[in-house]
Structure 1
Amino acid sequence: MIVEVVGGTQERPEARVVDVDNLTALHLALGEVTDDEAAEVLERAGLGRFQDSDTVLLDVAALHAAAQPRATSEDWQAQWDVMIAKARSKGWLSEDGATVRVHVESAAGA
C-alpha cells in the first residue's frame, strides 16, 4: 500500500492511497511537491504528519478508512491485520496503535 502526495507546478497537491491490495509494504511516495506541501496535504487529508524528512506517522484508522472500500481481495481485512501486527512487532506502531511510522520515498517519474 502506498500513500502518495502528488502534484506539479500547475496542480494543487493531493494525497491518495493507492495499491490498496498490496499489504506487504507501506510507505509514503512524494511526487513533485516540497516537504512543506506534502506535510500540509497529509494533515489536511487527515492521513498523517511528518516526523522528519525521512519519516511520516500515518493515522491507522484514516488509512484503513481510505483503503478498505477500494480493496478487492476477499481476505483483505486479514491481510491488513497481519500488516499492522508486523508493524507492531517491528516497533513501527505507536503504543496506542493510532499511528504507524513509515519511510518516505520519491515518486517523481513514477
Structure 2
Amino acid sequence: MYVEVRSAGEASVQDVENLRELAVRAHGVDVNGISAALQASGLGTVEGDHAWLDVEGLRRSGPAELTQWREGFDGMISYAGKQGWLNEDRTRVRAHLEHLG
C-alpha cells in the first residue's frame, strides 16, 4: 500500500491489497507539496524525512466488506506498533517518503 502524491493538492491511496509495505511516493513534488497534499486529502502530515499517515484514512481506502483484508490491515498496523512506527495514541503510522522523478 502506498500514498501517491502527484501535485501539491492531490494524494490517493494505491495498491491497497499490498499490506507488506507502506510508503508515500511523490512524483515531482517537493516536501512542502507532499505535506500540503497529505493535509488536503486528510491522509496525514510530513515530519522530517517521514510521513505520518492517518490509520483510519488508510483503512477507509480498502475494501471494507472484506474481513480478510481488514484483518490483514490490522496486522500491518500491529506490526508497525511493535516497530515503534505508531504515534502514542495509535492513530498515525509512520511511512517513508519516496521521491520519484
Question: Using the alignment, how far apart are the partners of 1:43 and 1:66 within structure 2?
Answer: 16
Contact map agreement 2:85 2:93 (CA 8 A) in 1:
yes
Larger of the two Rg values belongs to structure? 1
TM-score, normalisation: structure 1? 0.83
> What is the deviation of 1:87?
0.3
TM-score, normalisation: structure 2? 0.90
2:91 equivalent among 98, 105, 109? 98
> What is the deviation of 1:33?
1.1
Q: How many pairs are equivalent?
A: 101
1:15 equivalent among 11, 14, 21? 11
Contact map agreement 2:10 2:40 (CA 8 A) in 1:
no
Percent of aligned pairs with the same residue? Answer: 36
2:20 equivalent among 21, 24, 43? 24
Q: Which residue in 1 is equivalent to 2:56?
A: 61
Contact map agreement 1:27 1:102 (CA 8 A) in 2:
yes
Q: Please tell me the root mean square deviation across aligned C-alpha atoms, in Å.
A: 1.8
Q: Which residue in 2 is equivalent to 1:3?
A: 3
Superposition pairs for residues 24-103 of structure 1, below 5 Å? Answer: 24-52=20-48, 54-69=49-64, 75-103=68-96
Contact map agreement 2:9 2:41 (CA 8 A) in 1:
no
Contact map agreement 2:62 2:69 (CA 8 A) in 1:
no
* Unpaired stretches in structure 2, ≥5 consecutive residues: none
> What is the deviation of 1:14?
1.2
Return the structure number with greater strand share: 2
Runs of 4+ deviating beyond 6 Å: none
SS of residue paired to 1:86: helix
Question: Using the alignment, how far apart are the partners of 2:16 and 2:51 within structure 1?
Answer: 18
1:57-102 residue CA offsets vs partner (Å, 9 max, x unmatched):
0011111112335x8x661111101101100000001121110011
> What is the deviation of 1:43?
0.2
